[in-house]
Amino acid sequence: MNIVDQAYVEPTDPKKLYQAAITGMLRSLDANTSYIGQDQLSSFESIFEQEFGGLGVSLDGPPRRSALTVASTIFNSPAFRAGIRPGDVIARVDGQEVRTWTTQEVSTKLRGREGTSVRLLIDRDGQEIETTLVRERIEIESVLGDRRRSNGTWDHLLEADPQIAYVRIELFGEKTTEEFRKAIESCKPQPRGLIIDLRDNSGGLLLAAAQICDMFLDEGTIVTTQGRGQRVDEVLKAAAGTILPKDCPIAILVNENSASASEILAGCLKDQERASIIGTRSFGKGSVQNVIPIEGGKAAIRLTTAYYYPPSGRRIHRRNSTTESDWGVDPSPGCEVAMTEEQLEATVSRFRARSLPVESPQSDTPSDRPSQDLSIAVDPQLHFAVEHLRKELGAK
Catalytic residue list:
260, 271, 285
Q: How far apart are CA 24 and CA 18, in angstroms?
A: 10
Residue 295 backbone class (left: φ over 0; alpha: ψ -120 to 50; beta: rest): left
Contact 79, 56 (CB under 8 A): yes
Give Cβ neighbours of residue 146 (< 8 Å, ≥ 6 apart).
154, 155, 156, 157, 158, 159, 166, 354
Query: CA torsion, points 275, 278, 280, 283, in degrees to nearest 10?
Result: -30
DSSP states along 77-141 = SHHHHTT--TT-EEEEETTEE-TTS-HHHHHHHH---TT-EEEEEEEETTEEEEEEEE-EEEEPP
What burial letters (b/e) apply to 193-232, b meaning 16+ CB within 10 Å? bbbbbbbbbbbbbbbbbbbbbbebbeeebbbbbbeeeeee
Contact 178, 150 (CB under 8 A): no
Asked if the peptide bond before residue 62 counts as cis, ω within 30 degrees of 0, the response is no
- Cβ burial, residue 385 (10 Å; 0-12/13-18/19+): buried
Q: How far apart are CA 276 and CA 255, in angstroms?
A: 14
Give Cβ neighbours of residue 117 (< 8 Å, ≥ 6 apart).
132, 133, 134, 135
Q: How far apart are CA 394 and CA 163, in angstroms?
A: 12
